[in-house]
Amino acid sequence: MVYLVLGLSLLVNVATCSRFAGAARVAGRSEYPEVEETLAYGSHGAETKVAMLELSGTILRDAPPTLFGEQVDPVTRLLNEIQAAIVDPEVRAILLNVNSPGGGVTASDEIYHALKRFRESDPDRRIVVHVGDMAASGGYYAALAGDVIVAQPTSIIGSVGVMLTAVNAHGLGEKLGVRDVSLTSSENKDLLHPLDPVDPEHQRILQRVVDDLYDRFAGLVLEHRPFDAAFAAEHELLDGRVFTASEARELGMVDEIGYGEAARAKVLDVLGVEEAGFVRIEYTGGWSGLFSVRSPEIALPGMPPQARFLYLWKP
């Protein structure tokens, strides 16, 4: 019994300390991030070093609290890993493996911007993107920073567009006797409030924002891919639809079709070398052992999801 009490006491103390410490590391951005490097392909003796990074899942800054504190969100993690590649003079290229339906507008844009910074940090640096299941919406947005995009035969590509999801429960509120009593400084402060009747002016205001964010996305596609606006319009490339890998290759949305070995070969090709050491870079955030983000997560109840503008494919 004594050992059981001591064990429970230790667990509570560890969870409490880690929770406060974890909250402080969520932002976690650094000019010189702490990372672990593991050779995945090639040899330790290779003169050329390639950083292998992962963009996987929905691109959101959600880091749900757990029993052992806040976890570093996946966007911050990837941005730190890209930054580690930027400041490492030995890294000649990034091989970015993408499997994402997209996500937040700003988060997707930050990843794209960080990848561009890597390219611009040295004129000889290159980026090859390898798509797994999908590079859709924000996932494709980030992939646009690559010199070459290689998609697997079964990849889904595209979904160029923006969405803002909202639900109106005005009718249900009236039936249940629920009404909005919010106080605002102006009539446009609570756009699309779910308990108010739908206001066409609110829709127009938000549609302008959606259109502007879409124009940026579409503009980057036209900047980075080998087709112009007329071709894109003719083949309906920018209207939110998705394409198979073979369609995307034929239309110029990706450059090649192939598996992981083809993507690695393309890295060697664009660098003009015969061999390289492909190194997985993983952000550690300066934590290890029991406090590591790799520890099993026990999710705690969180807040409801917030409304946000999304570069997201949501079939």
Percent of the chain scoring above 70 in pLDDT: 82
Which residue, chain included where needed, has tokens 């064990």? Answer: 7
Per-residue confidence (pLDDT) for residue 40, from 0 to 100: 97
Give 32's DSSP letter.
S
pLDDT tens figures, 150-182: 999 999 999 999 999 888 888 888 888 888 888
DSSP 43: -
Is pLDDT of 108 > 60? yes
Nearest to 33 by CA among 281, 306, 245, 258: 281
In the chain, % helix, strand, coil (3-state, to 5) comes to 40, 20, 40
CA 73 → CA 12, 14, 285, 298, distances in Å? 24, 21, 11, 15
Sequential DSSP letters for 177-212:
T-------SSTTTTTT-TTSPPPHHHHHHHHHHHHH
28 pLDDT more than 90: no
pLDDT of 81:
98
Would you tell me how many other CB atoms lie within 10 Å of the CB of residue 235? 16
Average pLDDT rounded to a whole number, residues 283-303: 47
Q: What is the model's pLDDT at position 161?
A: 97
Binning pLDDT at 50, 70 and 90, where does residue 24 land?
Answer: very low
How does pLDDT run across 226-269, given as a tens digit for each residue?
999 999 999 999 999 999 999 999 999 999 999 999 999 999 99
pLDDT mean across residues, the chain? 86
| Region 2-312: CATH code | 3.90.226.10
| pLDDT on residue 292 | 40
Instruction: Give mean pLDDT, residues 85-110.
Output: 98
Res 6 pLDDT > 60: no
- Per-residue pLDDT of 185-215, as tens digits, reads 988 888 888 888 888 999 999 999 999 999 9
CA 56 remoteness from chain centre: 7
User: What is the pLDDT at residue 167?
Assistant: 84
